[in-house]
Structure 1
Amino acid sequence: MPLYSEDPSVSLQGSPAPLAGTVAATDGDPRAHLLNNATAEDYRRLVAEGVARVARTVAGTARPFTGVTPEELAPGISAIDLDRPLGDPAAALDELERVYLRDAVYFHHPRYLAHLNCPVVLPALLGEAVLSAVNSSLDTWDQSAGGTLMERRLIDWTAARIGLGRAADGVFTSGGTQSNLQALLLAREEAFRVLRKNSPTPPPVSAMLPKLRVLTSEAGHFSVLKGAKLLGLEPDAVISVPCDGDRRMRTDALARELRRCREAGLTVMAVSATAGTTDFGSIDPLPEIADLCEDAGVWFHVDAAYGCGLLASPTRRHLLAGIERADSVTVDYHKSFFQPVSSSAVIVRDGTTLRHATYHADYLNPARSAEKRIPNQVDKSIQTTRRFDALKLWLTLRIMGADAVGTLFDQVVDLAADAWRLLAEDPRFTVVTRPALSTLVFRYAPAEPAGETAVDLANLHAREALAASGEAVVAGTVVDGRHHLKFTLLNPETTLDDIRAVLDLIAAHAEDHLAAARLTGSPAA
């Protein structure tokens, strides 16, 4: 039987129709599965079948999640014998429907309100299809050619939007965690360079490393802590700086900590500010932090993984004022540029600092290739083999344009402002802070008196019950030791009516939990 359907619009339920003249062999030759000149038409038909299945699933999605549990889903997946191939794409897609598509969490649904996952724009999906098939590797020129230059052009475009100047450079990464790690790596190496330069007897790394410190806000991303550990810093090397009531880094506390470290003989290798914290969407006071870093001679990093969407905003770019003074910036296009994962970058003010990530391998990027000015992106990256993820953003800008992307981000920020007013006026809830971006952290607060532990459990139950129903998905977090709920609004299709409906569901689930606890006399009530 041929491997692929002749008609790309064929129903994928059951066996595919025969495909005349295909190389897709009946003799079991595995070469029939390779993409090449002879199988190009098979590839087109196979992908069309897969896309048709996904399109029907997305079009028919009535809720963001089915509520399936790990215990329900795991046995079916564990029972699949991976050593016995089905040999039939239609059968494989039928199986995929059961083990993945049916129960996937769909971020495009307007009542998915949980994490920093955005619906994706169609031009980026086009880019994903192209880059996966061509399969360029962006580490060296001789594996990517035009892809190398296109990625570099997008880095220049992003650096210009940030305002870093003509000496800026950068590289695409797998995500914000990798970008923050690479920024800290560069900051560490620059700190070592300065310490050696200013010492009559250059100290060894073993003497410098224990004295390095990184300052970041208490609302900053955990990847700063993880990066410090991976870079060999001391367990207490990352110092948490207190935030104000809007969950922004307090500059008076930062100044005090910089002074304390200096007096203690410690070297602050970087201050990591945040433009869009994960929990609150808050933006640290970047101009004031830049002043303090400049005065102290400290590397200034801005984690704008979330807030980078403001770079394209027609109305809110001013919220990132001060980011142009950063030494390094993290951007996640797959958060607020509506790109599929992965699509991220680290951008630096001085491109020469990227040399700290350079290693020359004779078989890949020998030093002579740099002397010949061959553009090998691996010279800038802590990755080697790397997808051409930049193509997704390239096609998005070429088809939609930056203003359209920024307008989509503006719409979710506008929605968050309206939702904040809704929450602030609703006696059933307390909201932590007014959002700068599109995140809202709040807590169900019952009308009848209940202990803090009971309210904690009611909020936890409401989130779990909502997910189990599949009617909506919301996130949770802990604020000042108490459990809260969180909306992360990144879907321009979400409406205020969706927000109202989800709040009603949350309140009902929480009140049911409290009522049951009171009825049974549970201490939680």
Structure 2
Amino acid sequence: MISQADLIESAPDGAATAADSRSHLLGDQTAERYRRSLTEGVTRLAERFATTGRPFTGISPEALTPEVAAIDLDRPLGDTTAALDELEDVYLRDAVYFHHPRYLAHLNCPVVIPAVLGEAVLSAVNSSLDTWDQSAGGTLIERRLIDWTAERIGLGPHADGVFTSGGTQSNLHALLLAREEAGAEPGRLRILASACGHFSVRKSAKLLGLGEDSVIEVECDADRRMRPDALARELRRCAERDLVPMAVVATAGTTDFGSIDPLPRIADLCARYGAWFHVDAAYGCGLLVSRTRRHLLDGVERADSVTVDFHKSFFQPVSSSAVLVRDRATLRHATYHADYLNPARMAKRRIPNQVDKSLQTTRRFDALKLWLTLRVMGADAIGDLFDEVVGRAADAWRLLAADPRYEVVTRPQLSTLVFRYLPSGDHDDATVDRANLHARDALFASGEAIVAGTVVDGRHHLKFTLLNPHTTLHDIATVLDLIAGHAEAHLAEQSATTRHHGELTGSLAR
């Protein structure tokens, strides 16, 4: 009898191109090729990191788009070195480098080396964290990290959670659970959130079929923290109108101001009115490992759900986020069973399938990055890095407060500063707005530094987000001088244009 194996052995070889294609697959026969390719790539990146002198080259979309568009993706280069050379031209040369100390814009952190190692491992093994039979130990590592995070928060013995793609997904997940727990018809449901909170709350309301009008904006104080008296007033109004406050979303680290809402008082009001208490700590979660500022999160332990973004204040590569819940039973609202993936019988056998908790199915093993970070560095070391940037922001606030060229909106609780250039002389608000907008754009185009912008009380402001411990007070002072220089040059140019126009008008009149 001829076996299937004999038939396969005697079959003619495939085309040479098929064999060549297989040579690119990572496996036992290509381990050395894998080593060489990654070594070449890492060597180039190490050189790039060592020699990058500014966070950005200042290239415009108009200049870079033709270079990318000219590449024929149907004609491979067939060589790693050539592909890396090309990548240098279309990406690495002009990338925005968050590790540079004068990148001061968004909530993007430099990353720690153990986490980058974890990224390399998880990408190569390519575990999918939806089911046990695709991940094995990866599932247990993620679950252990969820338990560790819940312990740090103080959620209690029945807590659970799951890793997500980021704070937006974590907030959506938490509000889905809150909606289901509320058990009322959608038209009566309301979400109460800080006026300074994250846009994802309104986005989540829309995705959940509640509509953006279901979100009630709660006033903030001068420090951009939710006012408990305003929250109490809105909760009373809900009761009077027979509306159901399905959730109150407090923020521990607003995106614009780094403000932390008064969590204990908000928790009291949630308990009184029976509202789900969600804390968006995507930014402020770094305080969980702080040795000096953990008290700023007091009250978070009373939350029904918490969002944490390790890729913000734990110095992890994107993505690395999680949603935690006080009562693991509430995660059932995200559970669906498929016969081909996670049939109900597996739950009865207590097979640990993470898809039973998640909004995602296929999901990366992002937990590995945090795992290796904790095993190599330890939680205290991460907390020390976060404490350093919070301390630097406090120093920068004092610098700004003493500089007559600027006004700063509020004293930071975390590492964000919102401020505005104020020129000397008599200028209207619109002129000042244009000067600040121009300064930010000109600074970005120069590539010397990158700062963010936002609108406060209808006026354009600039923003520093400090997440790099290598950023010094000298760096900050230098960037402030650069901003002022660009703003002053813009105002001088505008003044000259106005003067010239006036002279021209006068000469024509004569």
What's the TM-score once normalised by structure 1's chain length? 0.92
* 1:350 Cα deviation after fit: 0.2
Kindly provide the amino acid, as one letter, of the partner of residue 143 in structure 1.
Answer: Q
Aligned pair partner of 1:406 in 362, 383, 394: 383
Counterpart residue type for residue 333 of structure 1: F
After superposition, what is the alpha-carbon deviation per residue over 1:188-238, rounded to whole angstroms, capped at 9, x for unaligned? Answer: 00001xx4xxxxxxxxxxxx1111110001000000000000000033101
Equivalent position of 2:445 in the other structure:
468
2:34 matches 1:57: no
Match of 2:135 in 1: 144
2:299 maps to 1:322: yes
Q: Is the 8 A contact 1:474 1:487 kept in 2?
A: yes
What percent identity do the matched residue pairs reach?
76
1:103 to 1:505, Cα distance in 2 relative to 1, 3 A: same
State the alpha-carbon separation in 2 of the partners of residues 388 and 441 from structure 1: 36
Q: Which residue in 2 is equivalent to 1:94?
A: 85
SS in 1 for 2:257: coil
Determine if the alignment matches structure 1 residue 483 to structure 2 residue 483. Answer: no
Which one-letter code corresponds to 2:212 in the other structure?
Answer: P
Where do residues 103-142 of structure 1 align in structure 2 (5 Å cutoff)? 103-142=94-133
Q: Provide closer, same or farther for how the CA distance between residues 115 and 524 of structure 1 changes in structure 2, counting only shifts above 3 A.
A: farther
Q: Give CA deviations for 1:427-459 in whole Å, capped at 9, x if unaligned.
A: 000000000000000000011111100000000
Q: Secondary structure at the match of 1:272?
A: strand
Residues paired across the two proteins, number: 487
Q: Is the 8 A contact 1:454 1:524 kept in 2?
A: no
Let me know the Cα RMSD of the aligned residues. 1.4
Per mean C-alpha deviation after superposition, the further-off stretch among 399-408 and 235-244 is 235-244
Q: Distance in 2 between matches of 1:266 and 1:336?
A: 37
Q: Does 1:69 align with 2:60?
A: yes
**What is the DSSP-based 3-state SS (H/G/I as helix, E as strand, rest coil) of the residue aligned with 1:443?**
strand
Alpha-carbon distance in 2 for matches of 1:362, 1:486: 50
Q: Which moved more, 1:455-464 or 1:226-235?
A: 226-235
Residue correspondence of structure 1 range 430-449 to structure 2 within 5 A: 430-449=407-426
Partner amino acid for 1:236? D
Change (3 A) 1:419 1:225: same
1:304-319 equivalences under 5 Å are 304-319=281-296
Counterpart of 2:476 (choices 499, 503, 513) is 499
Whether 1:302 aligns to 2:293 is no
> Does structure 2 retain, via aligned residues, the 8 Å contact 1:136–1:388?
yes
- 8 Å CA contact 2:203, 2:212 repeated in 1: no
- State the alpha-carbon separation in 2 of the partners of residues 105 and 374 from structure 1: 43
Q: Secondary structure at the match of 2:246?
A: strand
Partner of 1:336: 313
* Corresponding residue SS for 1:471: coil
Counterpart CA distance in 1 for 2:211 and 2:40 is 53
Q: Decide whether the 8 Å contact of 1:66 with 1:469 is kept in 2.
A: yes
Task: Give the alignment partner of residue 346 of structure 1, picking from 305, 312, 323.
Answer: 323
- Aligned residue in 2 for 1:293: 270
Structure 2: gaps spanning 5 or more residues:
1-15, 503-510
1:265 Cα deviation after fit: 1.0
SS at match of 1:301: strand
CA distance in 1, matches of 2:362, 2:323: 17
- From 34, 39, 48, the counterpart of 2:39: 48
1:439 and 1:488 in contact (8 A); partners too: yes
Question: 1:524 Cα deviation (Å)?
Answer: 13
Q: Is the 8 A contact 1:412 1:492 kept in 2?
A: yes
**TM-score using structure 2 length:** 0.94
- Whether the aligned pair in 1 keeps the contact of 2:439 and 2:486 (CA below 8 Å) is yes
The residue that corresponds to 1:156 in the other structure is 147
Q: 1:295-324, CA deviations, whole angstroms, 9 ceiling, x for partnerless residues?
A: 001000000000000000010000000000
> 1:176 is matched with which residue?
167
CA deviations 1:227-260 (Å, max 9, x no partner) are 0000000331011101000000000000000000
Provide the C-alpha distance between the structure 1 equivalents of 2:175 and 2:191, rounded to a whole number of angstroms: 9
User: Is the 1:210–1:234 Cα contact (8 Å) retained in structure 2?
Assistant: no
Following the alignment from structure 2 to structure 1, what is the Cα–Cα distance between the partners of residues 18 and 85?
24
Tell me the residue number matched to 2:221: 244
The one-letter code of the counterpart of 2:115 is: A
For the pair 1:231 / 2:208, whether they are aligned, the reply is: yes
Q: 1:200 is matched with which residue?
A: none
Between the aligned partners of 1:389 and 1:262, the Cα distance in structure 2 is 42
Paired with 1:97 and 1:524, the residues of 2 have a C-alpha distance of 46
Correspondence for 1:370 among 341, 347, 351: 347
In 1: Cα distance, 2:435 partner to 2:19 partner: 58
Partner of 2:71: 80
- Out of 228, 236, 260, the residue aligned to residue 259 of structure 1 is 236
Q: 1:91 to 1:28 in 2, by over 3 A?
A: farther
The Cα shift of 1:41 comes to 1.1
Query: d(CA) in 2 for partners of 1:166 and 1:326?
Result: 14
Check whether the contact 1:216–1:273 (CA below 8 A) recurs between aligned residues: yes
Q: SS at the partner of 1:95?
A: helix
Q: Conserved in 2, the CA contact under 8 Å of 1:453 and 1:524?
A: no
Q: Is the 8 A contact 1:155 1:171 kept in 2?
A: yes
Structure 1 residues not aligned, in runs of 5+ = 1-24, 196-207
Task: Give the conservation status (yes or no) of the 8 Å contact 2:406–2:421.
Answer: yes
